[in-house]
Amino acid sequence: MKKYLSFCLKSFVLVYVSIAFTACSGVKNIGYFQNVGAIDSVNASDVIGFIPPTIQADDILAISIFTIDPATGAQVNQVASQAVQDLSGSSAPNGFLVDKNGEIELSIIGKVKLLGLTTFEARDFIRKKASVDYKNPNVQVRFANFKVNVIGEVNRPAIYTLPNEKVTVIDAIGLAGDLTLYGKRENILVIREKDGKKEYARLNLYDTDIFKSPFYYLRQNDIVYVEPHKSKTAALNAPTRTSIGLILSAISVLVLALTRL
């Protein structure tokens, strides 16, 4: 009887170790830019440089106007600040909303059309307009609602409003707390809307070719989606499968032991 019990125990341990080994064999390498060692550097001519985003309808712009005369400057910014508050509401970012015609309205110079301009071009345009009434005005323009949406297999999926417009897909993933262990690092999907149409690109975090992609630098309202590996489904089902496997193994061992009595 002791021999049979010993045989049962050894068989049970063997089955358990086999199942555990199978579960561990699914662990994947999650290192980024794995081909860096195979190349000396990325040619500058191959890298897509940063192209400033252009102003679109429904963007919110933070605009500040300063003049040499402190009293005049204070008056200008007081008017601008009041316009910002009226347009923004309590929950929206402070700034001037670009309407469907691509225009904003500044109390000091009236309506100006900024659609399709970069923030640098908008700054120069507003400065010229303001120069009619104010001497040597200094103008600052930036996006107040430059945001990207990071979803899927990241640790902190959310919509992130960013303080500047030069943002990469790596920056966005970093803000979201990096990918989870189940995220497909070789297949990051970026969704972008341009001229009313959706554009798509898939980026591979394992490969330095990511720096050559025109989607490496994000635009306002881009969506970054990290797809889960099939191993996540397997991992979620693993406890159930393991329990069933252990039960069946125990039954098999018990039947085998009984047949030898």
**With a threshold of 0.75, does the pTM exceed it?**
no
Please tell me the number of Cα atoms within 13 Å of 72 on its side-chain side: 14
Tell me the per-residue pLDDT of 177-203, one tens digit each, with 9 for 90 and over.
999 999 999 999 999 998 889 999 999
User: 3-state DSSP call for residue 65?
Assistant: strand
pLDDT-derived band at 226, boundaries 50, 70, 90: very high
Classify strands 96-97 and 183-194 as parallel, antiparallel or unpaired: unpaired
| Predicted pLDDT of residue 90 | 41
User: pLDDT > 90: what percent of the chain?
Assistant: 44
Neighbour tally for 50: CB within 10 Å: 12
Q: Give the residue among 152, 157, 211, 204 at the shortest CA–CA distance from 183.
A: 152
| Predicted pLDDT of residue 231 | 67
**Domains of the chain (ranges plus CATH)?**
36-51+147-229 (3.10.560.10), 60-143 (3.30.1950.10)
User: 3-state DSSP call for residue 185?
Assistant: strand
Tell me the per-residue pLDDT of 56-97, one tens digit each, with 9 for 90 and over.
999 999 998 887 766 655 555 555 444 444 433 444 567 899
H-type helices in 92-229, by residue range?
119-130, 169-175
